[in-house]
Structure 1
Amino acid sequence: MQIQAVQLPGRDLGALQAFYRDVLGLTTERSGTRLSVQVGRSRLEFREGEVAGGAHLAFDIPTNQVAEAQHWLEERTALLAEEGQTCFFSEGWNASMVYLLDPEGNVLELIARHTRDNASAAAFGPECLLSISEVGLPVQDVPAATTTLGRALGLTPYLGGSETFQPVGDHHGLLILVREGRPWFPTDTAARLLPTDIQLQAPVPGTLELPGTPYRLTSSPAG
């Protein structure tokens, strides 16, 4: 699965543009009530809305550059920490991660997936943010949402899950289903439902408005 575009609400598009353009160095374009941010192969869009903040997004980086990413970010903004630690490793996912917040409290993750063959010898910079590889989707019933996404778009569970947490997709792109109210690691920010539109490549093409949520997913076939 590949995530092509994600649209979220944003309260202060000026502050968001300054962050993604001036801090992360990404290409942005603002038009009226919309802000577009190019993240490698993916596009992140914000549209003005009263309810915003608290989303979770992950950006893929080269598998060998988590230390470089950590240093690069520390020169520009504060990293999120847990018990003094700012770089994390998941043995189950075989991945290394660092986290930060954007101006509206969206939890951003830079993740080096060691299952990917995407090592780079280039100096770390904005071009090393390769794509949006995860989008958090809080729901009231994680197993039911998992079943619906499987039937409608052909998405399958990724590794292990639980009644409150289940990624679906693959290591190219994941939708992170969590029970509403569960905090996004490594914060105490409770996951909440936000109007979210996602364009992706999935096994089954089509459009799904996930029941009981403000989520709209549009799938096109790979290739």
Structure 2
Amino acid sequence: MRILQLALPVSDVAQVGAYFSDVLQLPVDSDSVQIGWTRVQLRAAGSEPVGGVHLAFNVPANRFAAATDWLLARAPLQTNAKGEAHFTFGDAWASESIYFEGPDGLILELIGRRRLPASDLAGQFHGSELTCVSEVGLPVADVPALHARAEAVLGLKPLSPPTPHFAALGDDEGLLIVVDATRAWFPEQKVLPNARRIEVCVGELSLGELEDRDHGWRVVSG
């Protein structure tokens, strides 16, 4: 699955656009940010809450160390209760991650997935090497029910065995991270998930739509 477009509500379109341009070195055209094959459309949030939104960006696994050095020069990393900032995941994930806070309390992640193609680049990392938005966090009241709907409507299957509180639906290129709305985000576990007015357009799936009106988000395939 590929996340092709993402509508992201923000408190200040110009300020958040400047962050993506100046800090993450991504091309920004007015209210549009290009991250590899994903276009992020910044929208004024108005009175809607903006904190607690989770996004992950794919990085070629062989460039992850360089990407970590690049990010450390730009932003502090988030840590877990043990003070750890670098996380390696085995089994179905086959990846490593670092997390950092963006504007409006965005919980951002760089993730290197070992099953995806390596990069032929070397030397200093640049933000243009981010290949896509690969994860969007979506809070729900009932994770198993949403998982069942996603499989029936879009043909989405979990990357790893789901739990009653967490399901990663999709594959290495794109995941909907479906979480219990009362489960705080890893690694700090301080902020509850929010996806109010988030709209996601995905490709390479059956045509269809998922929507959670209670939590205000929508996913469209097509």
Distance 2:2 2:37 in 1: 9
**Which residue is 1:138 aligned to?**
139
Q: 2:61 is paired with a residue of what secondary structure? A: coil
Distance 1:77 1:157 in 2: 31
Deviation at 1:119, TM superposition (A): 3.1
Distance 1:193 1:63 in 2: 28
Deviation at 1:147, TM superposition (A): 0.7
**2:170 aligned with 1:172:** no
Q: How does 1:11-160 map to 2 (within 5 A)?
A: 11-30=11-30, 35-49=31-45, 50=47, 51-82=49-80, 83-92=82-91, 93-123=93-123, 124-160=125-161
Q: 2:148 is paired with a residue of what secondary structure? A: helix
Deviation at 1:156, TM superposition (A): 1.0
Asked whether the 8 Å contact 1:8–1:194 carries over to 2, the reply is no
Distance 1:121 1:69 in 2: 12
Deviation at 1:203, TM superposition (A): 2.5
Q: Deviations over 1:175-201 (max 9, x none)?
A: 000000211111211113411100101
Kindly provide the amino acid, as one letter, of the partner of residue 208 in structure 2.
G
Kindly provide the amino acid, as one letter, of the partner of residue 87 in structure 1.
H
> Structure 2-normalised TM-score?
0.92
Asked whether the 8 Å contact 1:155–1:202 carries over to 2, the reply is no
Q: Deviations over 1:76-117 (max 9, x none)?
A: 121112233222111231101111111111101000001112
Q: Deviations over 1:148-184 (max 9, x none)?
A: 1111111112211200000111111110000002111
Deviation at 1:205, TM superposition (A): 1.2
> Structure 1-normalised TM-score?
0.91
Which ranges in structure 2 are unaligned for 5 or more consecutive residues? Answer: none
Q: Percent identity?
A: 35
Q: Which range is displaced more, 194-203 or 104-113?
A: 194-203
Q: Deviations over 1:123-160 (max 9, x none)?
A: 31111110011111010000000111111111112211
Distance 2:63 2:220 in 1: 32
Asked whether the 8 Å contact 1:60–1:110 carries over to 2, the reply is yes
Distance 2:152 2:35 in 1: 29
Q: 2:42 is paired with a residue of what secondary structure? A: strand
CA 1:91/1:208 → structure 2, altered by over 3 Å: closer, same or farther? closer
Instruction: Point out 4+ residue stretches in structure 1 off by more than 6 angstroms.
Output: none
Deviation at 1:122, TM superposition (A): 3.1
